[in-house]
Amino acid sequence: MFGIPSAKGFDSTLALLRNPYGFISETCRALDTDLFETRILLQETICMTGAATAEAFYREDRLIRAGSMPGRIQKSLLGEGGVQGLDGAAHQHRKKMFMSLMGTERIAALEGTSLHMLDNYAPDWEARNEVVLYDEVREMLTRAACAWAGVPLNEAEVATRTAQLTALFQDAGALGPKHWRARLARHRLEKWAARLIQQVRDGELQPTQESALHIIATWRDLDGELLTPRVAAVELLNVLRPTVAVSVFIVQAAHALHRHPEWRQKLKDDEGQLEPFVQEVRRLYPFFPAVAARVKSDFEWRGHRFPKGYRVLLDLYGTNTDARSWDAPQEFRPERFHDREVTPYEFIPQGGGDHHRNHRCPGEWIAISQMKAFCSFFVNAIDYEVPDQDLDLETGELPPMPKSRFIMRNVRPRQ
């Protein structure tokens, strides 16, 4: 049996914070390995990258999620008691609730709602000299997500809920006041969402049967009990927050269209190119750096010993850009998806493995369909200019966005 190689130094927390998308893969390359041991937040941690390690990571009989997330991420981004921290039968049962929201018709309904929003917003964009795309899309997706989920949202609330839902994914990983802003946003959103759940249970609100609000408010866990209002609130936010977060992918897609203008014409000529284009954005633009689990009991993998209780981090970004799986991995080449079946372990921007059995993101179809709808709108429905601005991705931020948030000027309908 071989020991797992160790990273230099006593603790790698700072190195990871400084370089969240490169630390694991670069350390692996330096050590000529695909996994190594270190300490993160003073805890023994095994970091891994690449498709083979992803396959090992999604062995849920060996690696569990309970207690794997740092408390500060739970108190801001994820909330407590939600599906992310469940294991085994309890996880699979709760996951059914999310998967039941993802039927083809429901995904199409959300896409239709967003397209309707775009039609409503476009005349206003035309009337203004400039628009900041990220701000517009976040607000549109807040409206669309709430409408689709059966959540009432009056006009006076839109700006506040948009800002709060954004704080959950944009400020959670930050240090200092931004992080506290995310925690405050979570506190307020959970109170709001718990009240909605209670109103449905009391018959004061009657969202449609297929809406997320109805399904979550009436879901029963394996013990036959309704979710507590607080846990149901966490799960409702597990639908609203990430749907608004798709705005990041949409801005990244607009950025890719700008940096690779030849793709505008390709997308116009052939809508079959939309899917490879958005898949390449999801592969190459950084979003979530890694996911975490914990070793359930000692096991061996390829001769390496994984001791019980160790935290394990799987490098998502490094796996999506691993030269062992992808030719010229740092080049933007949507055509690589034309004739390629990807395994559930080499292309993992939203986690890997099986959607039903593992913790893989149930929202992948939403992300893909929303990105396609917005890209199609950008190339077929409007013309716009992209004025000089700082379009470098701000890698000190999680997720990285262009500093300018992508300004569009002189938006007009396509003739």
Q: Does 360 bind ligand HEM (CB under 6 A)?
A: yes
Tell me: does residue 95 bind ligand HEM (CB under 6 A).
yes
Task: Indicate which single residue of 288, 306, 347, 384 sits in contact with ligand HEM (rule: CB under 6 A).
Answer: 288
Nearer to ligand HEM, 281 or 411 (CB): 281
If we measure between CA atoms, which residue out of 122, 143, 126, 163 comes closest to residue 374? 122
Does 281 bind ligand HEM (CB under 6 A)? Our answer is no
Closest CA to 81 of 66, 92, 96: 66
User: What whole-number distance in Å separates Cα of residue 139 and Cα of residue 320?
Assistant: 29
Residue among 31 and 393 whose Cβ is closer to ligand HEM: 393
The b/e string for 228-245 (b: 16+ C-beta within 10 A; e otherwise) is: ebebbbbbbbbbbbbbbb
Q: Of 4 and 239, which CB lies nearer to ligand HEM in the complex structure?
A: 239
Closer by beta carbon to ligand HEM, 91 or else 304? 91
Task: Give the number of residues in contact with ligand HEM, rule: CB under 6 A.
Answer: 24
**364-380 and 274-284 helices, crossing angle to 10°:** 120
The minimum distance between CB 75 and ligand HEM, in angstroms, equals 17
Residue nearest to ligand HEM (CB): 363
Provide the mask over 302-341, with x wherever binding to ligand HEM is found by CB under 6 A and - wherever it is not. ----------------------------------------
- Nearest Cα residue to 55 out of 284, 285, 263, 358: 358
117 closest CA partner among 246, 274, 272: 246
Asked if the bond preceding 152 is cis, omega within 30° of 0, the reply is no
Angle CA(393)–CA(54)–CA(251) in degrees, nearest 5?
A: 25
Cβ burial of 48 (10 Å; 0-12, 13-18, 19+) is: buried
Of residues 73 through 92, those in contact with ligand HEM by CB under 6 A are 83-84
Binding mask 241-260 for ligand HEM (x = CB under 6 A): -xx-xx--x-----------
* Gap between the Cα atoms of 234 and 197, Å rounded: 11
- Report the residue from 286, 362, 400, 402 that binds ligand HEM according to the rule CB under 6 A: 362
Which residues here bind ligand HEM, judged by CB under 6 A?
83-84, 95, 98, 238-239, 242-243, 245-246, 249, 287-288, 291, 349-351, 359-363, 366-367
